[in-house]
């Protein structure tokens, strides 16, 4: 497609975009009396306008029914979470039985590692990417120490090559094959939070499985952003947050995936709780745990329905549109952002280095050579909400649900003024 860095072109693209109507389905923050240009869906998605209705329904049921809301509400609370399994399974490429929602992301990764990191004297190593998101680093190191191993011995960090800003799949595969039968677990971010790179999850999973390792994915930046086929890729487990591309609200509940091969098994170690036991006997209050025959066996407590309600509301939007249409728009929108950045780069005495490779979702991470934090502050003051990462990177994530081509054109103009104002 031939792009143009003009307002007329951007408006023409928006007019032809069948998803443009969904912009009106979200609340935008207001800066200087105008809707902000919001490019941080990779950190916190905007609030869908329909979310208030879903939360109010819970609050009204609580007021009018009290404890009876567990069974007599229009959407009974005791199985409220079950309504999310089918739409979520389409987003992550799983069977509905392989998906559930509970807790928050790092809590869920810890709980899943109880089941899937079972080190032995010989097979005890974990492979992850260099400089994974800090929470993942802390989680993996603490799990290793909990099992009595030295993180320096047990953790393999795949590094980027000198002078490069991305991981090469062949380097990841080489590390997996070198570790061989010492490798217990591969646990990586499917989309890297810093550079926005989408790893070759299917290929990496296949190689690791051939080496006898368990494979899990942190999909915090992948779920709702890129195409996933967890079941067909034979992934063992995965977890993701819901508040980035899936717009469920700050710090909200996490989703998990557990491959069906692990269902209906009582020999799997896990931390167990009331809501993981079989639904038909749950209120018998029996002393023995009988696991749910699906991913819900990993649930511990009853669902926090006030938190789950915003997630359900957002998933209705995904059901209406479908991931394929979102991904299709995302690719064009992100390509237009890349084009505009290069056009502005030609017009100013600066150098933008896009460190996100072609394997990407809707995030571009841009190294602003010759510019500093003052440029980021200028953007924020002039209505652009973006994200700063040291030493000199802004992360831009045009979300296909609510970002427009005009947003991107307008951002380019503000960026240009901001650079020239600092000369």
**pLDDT tens string 358-382:** 999 999 999 987 677 888 899 999 9
What is the structure's pLDDT at 22?
A: 98
| Same domain flag for 388 and 290 | no
Instruction: Measure Cα distances from 388 to 290, 316, 376 in Å.
Output: 47, 31, 7
Q: Is position 42 within any domain?
A: no
Domain contains 1: no
Q: Please confirm whether the linkage preceding 60 is cis (ω < 30° from 0).
A: no
Distance CA 16, CA 405 (A): 11
Contact 258, 237 (CB under 8 A): yes
User: Do the domain assignments include residue 43?
Assistant: no
Q: 182 and 112: one domain?
A: yes
Alpha helices in 155-194 (DSSP H): 169-179
**CATH number of domain containing 338:** 3.90.1150.10
In a domain, 78, yes or no: yes
Whose CA is closest to 79, among 270, 316, 313, 292? 292
Number of domains in the chain: 2
* 382/411 same-domain check: yes
What are the pLDDT tens digits along the chain (423 aa)?
899 999 999 999 999 999 999 999 999 999 999 999 999 999 999 999 999 999 999 999 999 999 999 999 999 999 999 999 999 999 999 999 999 999 999 999 999 999 999 999 999 999 999 988 889 999 999 999 999 999 999 999 999 999 999 999 999 999 999 999 999 999 999 999 999 999 999 999 999 999 999 999 999 999 999 999 999 999 999 999 999 999 999 999 999 999 999 999 889 999 999 999 999 998 888 899 999 999 999 999 999 999 999 999 999 999 999 999 999 999 999 999 999 999 999 888 767 899 999 999 999 999 987 677 888 899 999 999 999 887 789 999 999 999 999 999 999 999 999 988 876
Task: State which of 321, 348, 383 marks the end of a domain.
Answer: 321
Cβ atoms within 10 Å of 265's Cβ, excluding its own:
12
| Residues 340, 310 share a domain | no
Is there a single domain that holds both residue 217 and residue 233? yes
User: Do 106 and 153 belong to one domain?
Assistant: yes
Q: What is the DSSP string of 14-45?
A: HHH-TTGGGGGGB---EETTEE-EE-BTTT-P
For residue 127, is it within any domain? yes
Per-residue pLDDT reduced to its tens digit, 295-309: 999 999 999 999 999
Q: Are residues 147 and 219 in the same domain?
A: yes
On whether residue 149 sits in a domain, the answer given is: yes
Residue 362 within a domain: yes
CA angle (383 as vertex; 381, 389 as ends), nearest 5: 70
Q: What's the domain range around 17?
A: 7-35+322-421
Last residue of one domain, picked from the residues 290, 321, 352: 321
Q: 239 and 93 share a domain? A: yes
- Asked whether residue 334 falls in the same domain as residue 307, the answer is no
User: Is 71 a member of any domain?
Assistant: yes
Closest by Cα among 45, 77, 85 to 275: 77
Q: Are residues 11 and 56 in the same domain?
A: no
Boundary-marking domain end, from 321, 347, 368: 321
Alpha helices by DSSP H, 123-194: 134-146, 151-154, 169-179
Q: Are residues 399 and 317 in the same domain?
A: no
What's the pLDDT score for residue 369? Answer: 77
- Is there a single domain that holds both residue 196 and residue 272? yes
User: What confidence score (pLDDT) does residue 423 get?
Assistant: 63
CA 28 to chain centre: 21
Q: Can you give the CATH number for the domain in which 136 is found? A: 3.40.640.10
Give me the residues paired with residue 395 across strands.
365, 387
Contacts of 331 by beta carbon, 8 Å cutoff, 6+ apart:
none
Determine the Cα–Cα distance for residues 412 and 25; give it in Å rounded to an integer: 25
At residue 268, the pLDDT reads 93
Cα within 13 Å of Cα(129), Cβ side: 30
């Amino acid at each position: 497609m031939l792009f143009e860095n003009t307002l007329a072109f951007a408006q023409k693209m928006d007019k032809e975009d069948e998803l443009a109507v969904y912009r009106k389905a979200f609340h935008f923050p207001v800066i200087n009396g105008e809707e902000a240009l919001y490019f941080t869906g990779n950190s916190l998605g905007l609030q869908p306008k329909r979310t208030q209705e879903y939360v109010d329904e819970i609050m009204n049921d609580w007021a009018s029914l009290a404890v009876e809301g567990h069974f007599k509400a229009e959407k009974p609370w005791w199985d409220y979470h079950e309504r999310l399994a089918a739409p979520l399974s389409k987003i992550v490429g799983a069977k509905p039985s392989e998906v559930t929602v509970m807790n928050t992301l790092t809590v869920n990764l810890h709980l899943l590692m109880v089941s899937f990191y079972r080190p032995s004297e010989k097979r005890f190593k974990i492979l992850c990417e260099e400089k994974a998101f800090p929470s993942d680093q802390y989680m993996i190191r603490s799990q290793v120490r909990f099992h009595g191993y030295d993180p320096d011995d047990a953790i393999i960090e795949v590094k980027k090559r000198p002078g490069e800003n991305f991981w090469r799949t062949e380097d990841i595969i080489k590390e997996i094959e070198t570790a061989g039968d010492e490798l217990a677990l591969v646990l990586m971010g499917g989309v890297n939070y810093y550079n926005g790179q989408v790893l070759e999850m299917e290929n990496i999973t296949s190689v690791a499985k051939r080496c006898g390792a368990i494979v899990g994915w942190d999909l915090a930046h992948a779920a709702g952003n890129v195409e996933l086929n967890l079941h067909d890729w034979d992934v063992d487990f995965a977890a993701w947050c819901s508040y980035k591309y899936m717009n469920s609200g700050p710090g909200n509940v996490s989703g998990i995936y557990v491959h069906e091969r692990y269902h209906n098994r009582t020999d799997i170690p896990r931390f167990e709780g009331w809501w993981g036991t079989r639904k038909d006997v749950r209120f018998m209050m029996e002393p023995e745990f009988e696991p749910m025959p699906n991913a819900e066996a990993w649930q511990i407590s009853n669902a926090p329905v006030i938190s789950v309600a915003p997630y359900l509301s957002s998933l209705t939007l995904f059901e209406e549109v479908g991931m394929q249409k979102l991904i299709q728009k995302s690719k064009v929108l992100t390509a237009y952002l890349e084009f505009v950045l290069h056009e502005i780069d030609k017009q100013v005495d600066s150098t933008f280095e896009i460190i996100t490779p072609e394997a990407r979702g809707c995030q571009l991470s841009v190294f602003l050579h010759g510019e500093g934090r003052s440029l980021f502050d200028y953007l924020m003051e002039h209505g652009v909400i973006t994200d700063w990462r040291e030493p000199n990177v802004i992360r831009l994530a045009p979300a296909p649900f609510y970002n427009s081509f005009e947003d991107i054109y307008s951002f380019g103009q503000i960026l240009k003024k901001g650079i020239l104002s600092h000369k």
